Structure 1
């Protein structure tokens, strides 16, 4: 029990061991991918017995859940910082910066990105709280894309997502907490499109699928964000004669 708001030596020791377990688990994932994660191997590396490790994490899925939550938090922090750096820039520039930050975070921590982008194991089921943490990652896109006006081709998607908003209070709360102006359904539609475009490019790059193709994936991300800006009707930068 904490005393005067301070943790006890026992709690500090427990927190330290949990951190060491997570660090070793991430090293296994970094080296061999998610399938390489073995609680027995983690315990052996740390000089613990299997039963002792289970005092800290109930199962492999329990450990994976915490790693995934940490990864979402790190991704969210990287994108939030990028958004803060360009908070006063035009919408297109902000969208480019957010897309670049998403890609850069994934490249710097591909093992963490794959925790978010793939299925950790066939039997793994993420708890509901992971949805909330995933939404935090995309939050900075909402106010940027709320400034847009969807082109006709995306109207049906917006109608579908508007129904989702109407039926899901948690989604309404998430969207409106980031958008003080503009249509929430438009902001949500643009953000979902941004997520799918970025996920497509970044997943291919992290897996090495662009090797030998002659283009820079950073340029491809920028193109994707610019074409999304076109779909959303975001104004072109001053002096951009191609728009």
Structure 2
């Protein structure tokens, strides 16, 4: 018989609430002025605590930013994983891309936190890889039955080798597709998802950064065209 979960103490619950409040304020600062505006001393002042007291909850600003990065990945993963992908692979790819973009443009300050290095010297925690894969995971089965055109072969060859060499990648692909690394479709699924990743980040990242302002197209239209081009490349139905 499984043991009952341990009841959290009042001190543990207070610590969790305080950490959540700190992160809420940091996200608000991020939205107001970008990553440079996230300041632990201002957060402490708003909460009515001393600066040193705040360090009982986060070791420093990088520690706080790392939590925000992981929370952002968890949030976008939740949105993407909730997408109904039963209408066919091409339609599923459009639906996934639309959900990805919708999350990003609704909160560009969090999306941009995931792009590049938030501050000089920042190192994302190792867990970030798994969280990013949780976002990309739903794209894998969409491409599993794809038939990539010949121009994709160089990338397909490299990713097939990676899939067979890296057990963690193989387990990730199998989790989402049910395909072992030895199956040719597993490499196709991985190649499609990896190809989709820069397509999404390129278009959505430019929009989130305001780079399309004043141009004569709707960002959603551009993304839809790119998704169709990607679907054509993998001959998705």
Question: Which interval holds the TM-score relative to the shorter structure?
Answer: over 0.9
Give the alignment's Cα RMSD to 1 decimal.
Answer: 1.3
Is 1:196 equivalent to 2:198 in the alignment?
yes
Counterpart of 1:67? 68
Query: Runs of 5+ in structure 1 lacking a partner?
Result: 236-243
TM-score (norm 2): 0.94
Q: Which TM-score applies when normalising by structure 1? A: 0.91
> Structure 1 residue 115 and structure 2 residue 113: aligned?
yes
Instruction: Find the counterpart in structure 1 of residue 28 from structure 2.
Output: 27
Give per-residue Cα distances to partners, 1:158-186, cap 9 Å, x unaligned: 11111211221111100111113561111
Number of equivalent positions:
230
Q: Structure 2 CA distance, aligned partners of 1:52 and 1:180?
A: 48
1:49 corresponding residue in structure 2: 50
Query: Is the Cα contact below 8 Å between 2:144 and 2:189 reproduced in 1?
Result: yes
Shift of 1:4: 6.1
Tell me what 2:220 maps to: 218
Q: Residues of 2 paired with 1:107 and 1:229: CA distance?
A: 23
1:5: how far off? 2.5
Q: Distance in 2 between matches of 1:57 and 1:132?
A: 22
**Structure 1 residue matching 2:196: 3-state secondary structure:** helix
- 2:97 is matched with 99
In structure 1, how many angstroms separate the alpha carbons of the residues matched to 2:220 and 2:82? Answer: 19
SS at match of 1:159: helix
Deviation at 1:130, TM superposition (A): 0.6
Counterpart contact for 2:112–2:209, Cα < 8 Å:
no
- Find the aligned partners of 1:110 and 1:128 in 2 and give their Cα distance: 23
In structure 1, the residue matched to 2:86 is 88
| Cα drift, residue 47 of structure 1 | 1.2
Residue 11 of structure 1 corresponds to 12
